[in-house]
A and B are shown apart, each in its own frame.
Chain A
Amino acid sequence: MSDFDDIQNLIRLKRHEQPSPDFVDDFVHAFQQRQRAELLNSSARGLLWERVTTYFDGLFAPKWAMAGAAAVAMLGTAIVLRPSQGGSTFANNNATQTPAGTYIAPISDEEVRQYLLSRHYQGGFGDERERRLVAHDQMAVSPVGFKLDVEY
């Protein structure tokens, strides 16, 4: 006899706590109802799934799938092969980008003046009344009163 025999005998008395005699029958009946309900639910879900898949099967028939794939391919090709237009942002960005370490010489004032007073200049800067040509030792022509927007 161990020290725990009394305790074990005492605890074993809990075997006599029993549900009512018809518990098992009632329980099995309730379980059957629940089980059948779950089966019906799963059947309903299966039916819905079947209808959905059937619908999409019809929607995505092979001929439509092929047409869709061809359209996507053509669109992709058009985007890739589209000719770049002059002055596009992409082109400008590339033009201004220089490799690291490349030296760009600053533009001199003289070069700026050539562009401003080009040989295509025919006079007229918005003030025609005071226009007269004067000889200039450095420049071919220069309107009187005109002040270049360049600081020397």
Chain B
Amino acid sequence: MSERPLNPDPDQEFVERSQNGDTRAFDELVRKYTPKLYGLVYNMTSNREDTADLLQDIFAKAYRSLKRFQGKSTFYTWIYSISVNMTLNFLKKRGRYTKLSLDDVDNGIQNDPDFIKLTSGGNPLKDVNIHELQKRLNEAMMKLSEDHRTVVTLYDIQGLQHADISKILGVSEGTVRSRLFYAHRQLQNYLEEFRK
């Protein structure tokens, strides 16, 4: 994260305008990154109200810190790092108490190849209610340690590459892979009943 990115930052223009006090330019960045960061924070907290509040704090902090952003990493990596750190701090304060407050599952899941595959034939998921599945997945996620939950969220749910995750978390790619391995093994145990 300390090296200047090889590819130009696609957000550079908006970042520079925001640094010069153009709040509309920062609004564009907020609009662009809200869905992505919402997914990150929501899957880390499993609580939509906490997610909305935390996301406000994240963008407010990013705006206040933007003057110090020197472009040594992409804005994307920078704001993801802020989001992960603030979410981890929030989870530490919240402690082990977790009240699930889940978003609705969109209708797209019915056409998702993964879902079709998992519910076809003699798969145990065939008769499982979608909401029950959602609840079990979230409970399993919340049983993971925060570090493991972070890499599962970034890699499995959000589809980031190992290299990007290592930059965001400030750890080596090997550490990312290792955390993923142990997280998947734990999830296997928690979700044994849903496996073929």
Complex interface: chain B residues within 8 A of A6 (CB): 118, 195-196
Asked whether B194 lies within 8 Å of A10 as measured between CB atoms, the reply is yes
Complex interface: chain A residues within 8 A of B138 (CB): 14
Q: Chain A 1-41, CB within 8 Å of chain B: the 1/0 string?
A: 00110111111111111111001100110111011101100
CA distance A19 to B181 in the complex (A): 29
Asked whether A13 lies within 8 Å of B137 as measured between CB atoms, the reply is yes
Asked whether A34 lies within 8 Å of B114 as measured between CB atoms, the reply is no
CA distance A19 to B102 in the complex (A): 9
CA distance A15 to B39 in the complex (A): 8
B23 near A: Cβ within 8 Å? yes
Complex interface: chain A residues within 8 A of B157 (CB): 11-12, 14-15
CA distance A18 to B26 in the complex (A): 24
CA distance A12 to B31 in the complex (A): 24
B30 near A: Cβ within 8 Å? yes
Q: Chain B 28-50, CB within 8 Å of chain A: the 1/0 string?
A: 00110011001100110000100
CA distance A83 to B90 in the complex (A): 69
Asked whether B105 lies within 8 Å of A17 as measured between CB atoms, the reply is yes
Contact pick for B56, options A15, A17, A34, CB 8 Å? A34
Q: Chain B 71-106, CB within 8 Å of chain A: the 1/0 string?
A: 000000000000000000000000000000011111
Asked whether A31 lies within 8 Å of B104 as measured between CB atoms, the reply is no
Interface positions of B from 171 to 196, Cβ below 8 Å from A = 181, 184-185, 187-188, 191, 194-196
Write 10 A-B pairs (CB below 8 A) sorted by A numbering: A12-B157, A14-B138, A16-B105, A16-B108, A18-B103, A19-B103, A24-B34, A27-B55, A32-B23, A35-B23
Write the residues of chain B forming the contact surface with A, with a CB cutoff of 8 angstroms: 23, 26-27, 30-31, 34-35, 38-39, 42-43, 48, 52, 55-56, 59-60, 63, 102-106, 108-109, 112, 114-115, 117-118, 133-134, 137-138, 141, 152, 156-157, 181, 184-185, 187-188, 191, 194-196
In addition to A9-B118, A27-B55, 15 A-B residue pairs with Cβ atoms within 8 Å of each other are A7-B188, A11-B137, A11-B187, A13-B114, A14-B43, A16-B109, A17-B43, A17-B103, A18-B104, A27-B34, A27-B38, A28-B30, A31-B59, A35-B60, A36-B23
Task: List the 3 closest pairs (A to B, CB-CB), nearest first.
Answer: A4-B184, A16-B109, A9-B114
